[in-house]
């Protein structure tokens, strides 16, 4: 028995999962957090609160569901953590990440 060539093409195609707004937002937030981790230098005075926030955010990102209220609360906590950083330049850099977090949270899947 041999399969038709067309049948193989159909079988070999991977079915893509329908991307929802929540999936896109979660991916975008993950990317922002990844970039934030690269910016953080543990030697900067006052950065400990940001490091603790990153640990909490990693726990939130591990969950399967996307709870918008939880992400809003985490964004508020990030802002509060940033205020404890003494170095003005580092604080400005972290605020840009805070702004990007907000933009990532509001992303929508493009309509086809």
Cβ contact 82:50 at 8 Å: yes
Structural contact between residues 39 and 94, judged by C-beta atoms closer than 8 angstroms: yes
Q: Per the domain annotation, does 13 fall within a domain?
A: no
> Total structural domains in the chain?
1
The dihedral sign for the CA sequence 82, 83, 87, 93: positive
Q: How confident is the model at residue 49 (pLDDT cuts 50, 70, 90)?
A: very high
Query: What range defines the domain where residue 66 resides?
Result: 41-107
Q: Is 98 part of any domain?
A: yes
Query: Residue 60: inside a domain, yes or no?
Result: yes
What pTM, to 2 d.p., does this model score?
0.76
Is residue 94 situated within a structural domain? yes
**Cβ(23)–Cβ(65) under 8 Å?**
no
In a domain, 35, yes or no: no
Asked whether the predicted pLDDT for residue 106 surpasses 60, the reply is yes
Please, which pLDDT band fits residue 11 given cuts at 50, 70 and 90?
very low
Is 10 a member of any domain? no
In this predicted structure, what is the pLDDT of residue 50? Answer: 95
Kindly state whether residue 34 falls inside one of the protein's structural domains. no
DSSP code per residue over 31-57:
HHHHHHHHH--TTSTTTHHHHHHHHHH
At residue 12, does pLDDT exceed 80?
A: no
């Amino acid at each position: 028995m041999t399969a038709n060539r067309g049948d193989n093409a159909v079988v070999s195609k991977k079915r893509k999962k329908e991307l929802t707004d929540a999936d896109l937002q979660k991916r975008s937030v993950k990317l922002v957090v990844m970039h934030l981790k690269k910016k953080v230098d543990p030697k900067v005075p006052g950065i400990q609160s940001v490091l603790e926030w990153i640990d909490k955010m990693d726990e939130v990102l591990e969950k399967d569901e996307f709870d918008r209220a939880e992400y809003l609360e985490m964004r508020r906590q990030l802002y509060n953590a940033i205020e404890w950083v003494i170095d003005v330049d580092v604080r400005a850099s972290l605020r840009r990440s805070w702004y990007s977090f907000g933009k990532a949270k509001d992303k929508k899947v493009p309509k086809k």
